[in-house]
Structure 1
Amino acid sequence: MQNDRNLVLYSSTGAALWNSNTYQQAAPGIPSNGSYSVSAWVKLTGGTGADQSAVCQQGNSVPSVNLQYRDATHSWAVMTTSQDSGNAGWIYTGSAGWSGYTGAWTHITATHSADNQILTFSLNGYPVSSTPMTSPWVANRETTIGGCYANNDHSKIINQLNGEVSDVRSYPFQLTSQQVAGLYNVPRQQISSNISGSNKCVDNSQANTSDGNRIQIFGCNGSTTAGTQLQLYVRNKSAAQSWTIK
């Protein structure tokens, strides 16, 4: 669909290829009745008081795939249902609460395996949650970016995103965890505010604290000299763990 984050596909402020209105691709872009993967870079401007959809695969009544920001928990998630019906129960899996940051690009990915019938959500290159999805179904309507159509009403846009969406990708197979990490693919960052002591750095995902987020602690100068001690501190500034490079 688009592979350049500098060329924004959707923007609620107008600086994009498709401004303010939800962009749609007429043919279904996500084969949701089998194995699939869909990812996007999203930057939130702020809350709207409702959920905000980055990418939707539309069915006749409801979306079969909805990559979204959940307002109630301030988190990212993928939502689906067991059938194309407004009466079907919603199935969610996503990141921990308060992981939806504003003003920064965030990479979100959903993958589904038809073999093990598991729906997995990844945040900034790492899988953070999964749930059984045993009744996938084909949604043969539009793929929309920046919002969804209302249930049973394809003339009305709901859950419109307040922000920007770029680099939306869809695959007719389940990406491996290594492939998902490759889509994120950013260099390590120094986040000194989260580390107590001097010359300590952390490599993580934009200060993400959600469950399953991987971090590495290392000497900021890149030294791997034997005997160097690194410490991880908890919020009350007490040392939680210490490591010594050997």
Structure 2
Amino acid sequence: MSIARILIIAGSDSGGGAGIQADLKAVTLLGGHGMTAITAITAQNTLGVQGVHPVPTAMVLAQMESCISDIGVDAVKIGMIGSAATAMAVAERLAQLDGVPIIFDPVMVATSGSLLADAATIAAFERLMAIATLVTPNLPELAALGGEDAVLRHGCALLAKGGHGDGAMLTDRMLDGAGQVAVWTDPRIDTRHTHGTGCTLASAIATGLGQGMALTAAVERARAYVRAALTLAPGLGGGHGPMGAPTGFHA
């Protein structure tokens, strides 16, 4: 079997905890080959986001085309998108791919609380949901998108992540147009080093799909990978630090 080729469309995190840096780590450790189309450069650390510089839409598309035309793509992960114009253009290009699974993590706010998408960009998420295989919002993001029904009407599946809920247990729910597909409930891992959990989960799911796994199995492995990464966090920085690098999760 040839290595799964995963195209990551997301922003760069200079602190290495989230974004492209976390995506590439997850894809690599899960046995895939990560390629990137960087949508924004951020000055960022465990304490917050100090600056954001969006990459022009034409350059985002050029990065995508370089990967698609030569290396090829088995799955796509979309994270921070940078601007409404980029969201629309990326969706239009990805819609031309035939049968390639697309995981869309609708990044709006960093773990630190910093805003990473304005109102116009969030409105443009509608187009990305329409071409996605699976959308992976946390609870605040799901509310901003209009709730479960608003997401599912686009024809994608939904993984509603429960990490922002209350209590010692957290529940993730996967749904599609026919109803609930799967539910996972686990004890909350007590750590402040949670930077990059959403990015990592989405990239891990995309890698599984690119390797030929069924969606539920890909989500299960990705969740196990993230939970292992949380327990291995190296404790860097004074705020929400990066996770660790677990091994042994290859398909």
Indicate the structure whose relative CO is greater, using CA pairs within 8 Å and at least 6 residues apart. 1
Greater strand share, structure number: 1
| TM-score, normalised relative to structure 1 | 0.30
Q: Give the structure with higher Rg (CA).
A: 1
| TM-score, normalised relative to structure 2 | 0.29
